[in-house]
Chain A
Amino acid sequence: MKIHYYPGCTLKQKMTALDISARKAMERLDVELVEPEGWSCCGAEYPLTEEKIVGLAAPIRVLRQVRDEGGDVLVTTCSFCFAVLKRANKAVQDDPLKHKRINAYLRDDIQIDPLTKERTTGFEDYNGEVKVLHLLEFLRDRVGYPKIRERLKRDLKGLAVAPYYGCRILRPRGEMAVDEPDSPRLFEEFLGAVGCSAVDYPFKQECCGSYVSVSLPAAATEASYRILRSAAMAGAKAVAVSCPLCFYNMDHRQEAIKEAFLDFPGLPVVFFTQLLAWALGVDKSLLGLGEHAVPADGLFTEIPLTEVRP
């Protein structure tokens, strides 16, 4: 199965571990991830003012490209990209005025024929034809957990992992609609399917500090500390995330956390795709573990799966 995949800029620069592990894992599930031609940055943040239409042009351009390549689904792993693409898509579907204005911007994009180098214009309007899915959602709805269980090669021995949703993939309620925002099961079920045991803790939807990391590092340090502490108290051996910024705040910032909060013992943070790839038999060298500030190697111990899980 070939499926359109939008990695987003961070996955090409700072957090290649998320990109590579996702590709390798999906290969093992017979899914080839194809990037849309000439994709650009999604804008990273959905415009917070009604009027700021131009912020929607970038994500819609990406979605239009997917449609024009014959795709009907676009999968992302980065939570920020997912939120921007999905909300922009919904705005075009639901709001006739936004639909009209965005398409007015995009109609005059210039198209260059790769062979003749001829420049033309006049794109067809984008009407929300593509469905935006988070990779976790794609695994649940399109691949299916039974298939993952079938393909497992390594035993994670019920590793206690705290699923961390962050702020982007569950809300706004109704718009993101991947799961019930106050009592989600999506991440927990995924962890169960790859052989981990999901740890229940109250901070799984709380904010990690997000962009405040730049302007008020101390606030992000405290926010991340509370999440990690809560997960550790609940017995987690690691926190699994789906967002590069969450990863940055909780992993790269742990040195600062330890300085500010002396009681904090440290806790490895991993991408959910690393767990998936490992369980499916991908080589450790391809997981991008070198990008971790807090060593996570210890979590990935070679235990072949001896019995088929039900």
Chain B
Amino acid sequence: MTVKATNKEKEKRIGLFVCHCGVNIASVVDVERVAEVLKDYPGVTFSTDYVYMCSDPGQQMIIDTIKEKHLDGIIIAACSPTLHEKTFQEAARLAGLNPYQIEIANIREQDSWVHSDKEKATKKAIRIVKSHVAKARQNESLEPIKVDVTRRALVIGGGVSGLQAALDIADHGYDVILVEKNPSIGGKMIQLSETFPTLDCSQCILTPKMVEVSRHPRIKLLTYHEVESVSGFVGNFKVRIRKKPRYVDETLCNLCGECEKVCPQIVPDEFNMGLSFRKAIYMPFPQAIPGTYTLDAEHCLGLNPVRCGKCKDVCDKKAIDYDMKETITEEAVGAVVVATGYDLYTMEALGEYGGEKYEDVVNGLEFERILSASGPTGGDIRRPSDGKIPESIVFVQCCGSRDTEHHLPYCSKICCMYTAKHAMMYRHRVPDGQATVFYIDVRTGGKSFDEFYQRTVEEDKVLYVRGKVSKIFKEGDKLIVWGVDTLTGKKVEIEADMVVLAMAMVKADGVQDLLKKLKIATDIHGFLAEAHPKLRPVESLNAGFYLAGCAHGPKDIPETVSQASAAAAKVGDLFALAELSHEPTVVPVNDELCSGCGICISVCPYGARSLDPDRGVAVVNEILCEGCGACASACPSGAAQQRNQTDNQIFSMLRAMLRE
């Protein structure tokens, strides 16, 4: 092995380019001396320094020198490889040199930026560069690994973000599978009444999109389905999808509604946030898509004609089938858009507000249903306990949000605007009503948002009180709200008929198991984590996964739609590639040395390694391998050697660095 390596070293002609980075490096490291000292170092054929290696003339110099001096290895002593490795690899490629023959010696972040003694820093730079020379001598020319792409996307979640992402991807000309766990698409947005700041009806603007999704030839819509698992890798995922039995054949159901009339089981209606009731066989709402009844097995008397069977008896179309079973199908996709939405923080968590105790203390989404023309009161504002029109409503913002001590530290972003809308709608429909809003501060960042808020205050005469509410309780028929007005410093006590709590937005509870199975990165609050907060806001760190909507964090409808479209565009980018390139610096297995102990398999975080039972050795899926090197350091027999980062190279680097 060593003999072979020595032979290789003799063959190589290495060029060294030391960058000044203006004064970033040159003020602390004597770059000219570094270039000078290395001139006669074994293997180095050419050595120079230049003020900005990343500039056009700098790169041109590299290209020209490679050609002129017939260099077959290059060391750039400059900034961190995370910044310009790609730049220099491209320059090498233009000069006809394999990009994997480029070495970056970091003498900025790891030297000039953290030291001030010029003499010592220069010596350190020399050592760093020497170690890279030792490595470069043994670098091999590598070619990226090519992978095919399955040009078909999976969208998880049928709310507005999922619908928009699915439509955009389909309109790009790619097939989409849209999976929704509920009986109908529409998500939370379909439950809303009017939308700020234009007050257009939420259902009116969303239903066209729902219809479009259901009719789009490229979208396969799977409602009442759940994603079981996603395996594979970017461009080549295998998805297992579970079909939940609806017990109604959606192709036969003609929505006559006879089944619903005879069903004896009465259940709180989820669509109306439990403010009204539905039957066990039901349609979630009139515009539901697909337009079919669904039998809720949990509340049905037993899916058994002996025990009840009334719905089956009256169904002329014979659409009801109690024997429907769960089925699992497998689909191949290349990209996954995760649009799993959000939930509201529970009112139980704020016991002092009595949300769980008093019927007339409702959360924002319940009030949306009360405002909605399709809601339990047909759009009349009536309080849940006795149907009375409330003479006074108190709106409380930041219920759980922005409370680092007891609840959630973040701002839920949409509550200021929807509370203004709620108060405005209430004043429009109950002109004599008194609307009071308690706020910490009003955040109206968004197009036409502040004008809307000003209208609420000035034209609709909503009283805004700056301060928090300490307690809400019932006395007789009235709710008593205790709060503080921090502008006057006085305690405030308000009698109200109803209280609306702007509960914080939190991660969706029902999808946490799924997210765990996807192994998708989340932040400390359980929202999906983006790859970069500024520059890659719609991609997950997990390649091939894209984020859309409130699963990623609180946001309003326009922002959700923008993000969904951006995620779809990113999926389009992926699908536009003829094939995917994967870094070739993976860790292959040397069959002759491998004993099949399996240690590398247990340490691999990507599931890239497995045991070949026939040959008794480890095998690696090079596409899944991310080149982290965990297996290479764990392998007891040296059978796992990372390309261009072999044990030999690492030891040579250490020797070069530590030798005086």
The interface of chain A, by Cβ under 8 A from chain B, is: 173, 180, 182-183, 200, 202-203, 230, 233
Would you call A182 and B350 a contact (CB within 8 A)? yes
Would you call A173 and B406 a contact (CB within 8 A)? yes
Closest A residue to B472 by CB, please name it: A202
Would you call A183 and B474 a contact (CB within 8 A)? no
Closest A residue to B480 by CB, please name it: A202
Give A183 to B348 CA distance when docked, in angstroms.
Answer: 9
Interface range for B: 10 to 19
User: Chain B, 440-478, contact with A by CB distance < 8 Å: what is the 0/1 string?
Assistant: 000000000000000000000000000000010111100
Task: Report B345-395 residues with CB < 8 Å from chain A CB.
Answer: 348, 350-352, 354, 356-357
Closest A residue to B350 by CB, please name it: A182
B residues less than 8 Å from A180 (CB atoms): 351
B residues less than 8 Å from A230 (CB atoms): 475
What is the CB-to-nearest-CB distance from A232 to chain B, in angstroms, rounded to a whole number?
12
B residues less than 8 Å from A183 (CB atoms): 348, 351, 356
Would you call A202 and B406 a contact (CB within 8 A)? no
Give A145 to B476 CA distance when docked, in angstroms.
Answer: 33
Would you call B351 and A202 a contact (CB within 8 A)? no
Residue pairs across A and B with Cβ atoms less than 8 A apart, 8 shown, are A173-B406, A180-B351, A182-B350, A202-B471, A202-B474, A202-B480, A233-B475, A233-B476
Closest A residue to B352 by CB, please name it: A182
A residues less than 8 Å from B406 (CB atoms): 173
What is the CB-to-nearest-CB distance from B478 to chain A, in angstroms, rounded to a whole number?
12
Give A183 to B354 CA distance when docked, in angstroms.
Answer: 9
What is the CB-to-nearest-CB distance from A65 to chain B, in angstroms, rounded to a whole number?
35
Choose one: A182, A200, A203, A233; the contact of B351 (CB below 8 Å).
A182
Task: Report B474-492 residues with CB < 8 Å from chain A CB.
Answer: 474-476, 480
A residues less than 8 Å from B350 (CB atoms): 182
Closest B residue to A200 by CB, please name it: B357
A residues less than 8 Å from B476 (CB atoms): 233
What is the CB-to-nearest-CB distance from B269 to chain A, in angstroms, rounded to a whole number?
27
What is the CB-to-nearest-CB distance from A231 to chain B, in angstroms, rounded to a whole number?
12
Give A200 to B357 CA distance when docked, in angstroms.
Answer: 10
The interface of chain B, by Cβ under 8 A from chain A, is: 348, 350-352, 354, 356-357, 406, 471, 473-476, 480
B residues less than 8 Å from A182 (CB atoms): 350-352
What is the CB-to-nearest-CB distance from A46 to chain B, in angstroms, rounded to a whole number?
19
What is the CB-to-nearest-CB distance from B542 to chain A, in angstroms, rounded to a whole number?
37
What is the CB-to-nearest-CB distance from A208 to chain B, in angstroms, rounded to a whole number?
16
What is the CB-to-nearest-CB distance from A207 to chain B, in angstroms, rounded to a whole number?
12
Q: 14 other contacts beyond A180-B351, A230-B475, with CB at 8 A cut-off?
A: A173-B406, A182-B350, A182-B351, A182-B352, A183-B348, A183-B356, A200-B357, A202-B354, A202-B474, A202-B475, A202-B480, A203-B473, A233-B475, A233-B476
Give A233 to B475 CA distance when docked, in angstroms.
Answer: 8
Closest B residue to A206 by CB, please name it: B471
Closest A residue to B356 by CB, please name it: A183
What is the CB-to-nearest-CB distance from A100 to chain B, in angstroms, rounded to a whole number?
28
What is the CB-to-nearest-CB distance from B476 to chain A, in angstroms, rounded to a whole number?
8
Nearest 9 Cβ contacts at the A-B interface: A202-B473, A182-B351, A183-B351, A182-B352, A180-B351, A202-B474, A173-B406, A182-B350, A233-B475
What is the CB-to-nearest-CB distance from A206 to chain B, in angstroms, rounded to a whole number?
8
Closest B residue to A230 by CB, please name it: B475
Give A183 to B406 CA distance when docked, in angstroms.
Answer: 14
Give A233 to B471 CA distance when docked, in angstroms.
Answer: 18
A residues less than 8 Å from B474 (CB atoms): 202
Give A58 to B41 CA distance when docked, in angstroms.
Answer: 76
Residue among A182, A203, A230 with max Cβ neighbours from chain B (10 Å) = A182
Give A183 to B353 CA distance when docked, in angstroms.
Answer: 10
A residues less than 8 Å from B351 (CB atoms): 180, 182-183
A residues less than 8 Å from B473 (CB atoms): 202-203
Give A200 to B475 CA distance when docked, in angstroms.
Answer: 12
Residue among A183, A203, A230, A233 with max Cβ neighbours from chain B (10 Å) = A183
A residues less than 8 Å from B480 (CB atoms): 202
B residues less than 8 Å from A233 (CB atoms): 475-476
Closest B residue to A183 by CB, please name it: B351
B residues less than 8 Å from A202 (CB atoms): 354, 471, 473-475, 480
What is the CB-to-nearest-CB distance from A234 to chain B, in angstroms, rounded to a whole number?
10
Give A182 to B351 CA distance when docked, in angstroms.
Answer: 5
What is the CB-to-nearest-CB distance from B468 to chain A, in angstroms, rounded to a whole number?
14
What is the CB-to-nearest-CB distance from A203 to chain B, in angstroms, rounded to a whole number?
8
B residues less than 8 Å from A200 (CB atoms): 357
A residues less than 8 Å from B352 (CB atoms): 182
What is the CB-to-nearest-CB distance from B501 to chain A, in angstroms, rounded to a whole number?
14
Closest A residue to B358 by CB, please name it: A202
Give A233 to B476 CA distance when docked, in angstroms.
Answer: 8
What is the CB-to-nearest-CB distance from A188 to chain B, in angstroms, rounded to a whole number?
13
Give A182 to B407 CA distance when docked, in angstroms.
Answer: 13
What is the CB-to-nearest-CB distance from B432 to chain A, in angstroms, rounded to a whole number?
28
What is the CB-to-nearest-CB distance from A213 to chain B, in angstroms, rounded to a whole number?
21
What is the CB-to-nearest-CB distance from A249 to chain B, in angstroms, rounded to a whole number?
20
What is the CB-to-nearest-CB distance from A262 to chain B, in angstroms, rounded to a whole number?
19
A residues less than 8 Å from B354 (CB atoms): 202
Give A112 to B357 CA distance when docked, in angstroms.
Answer: 58
Give A199 to B356 CA distance when docked, in angstroms.
Answer: 17
B residues less than 8 Å from A173 (CB atoms): 406
A residues less than 8 Å from B471 (CB atoms): 202
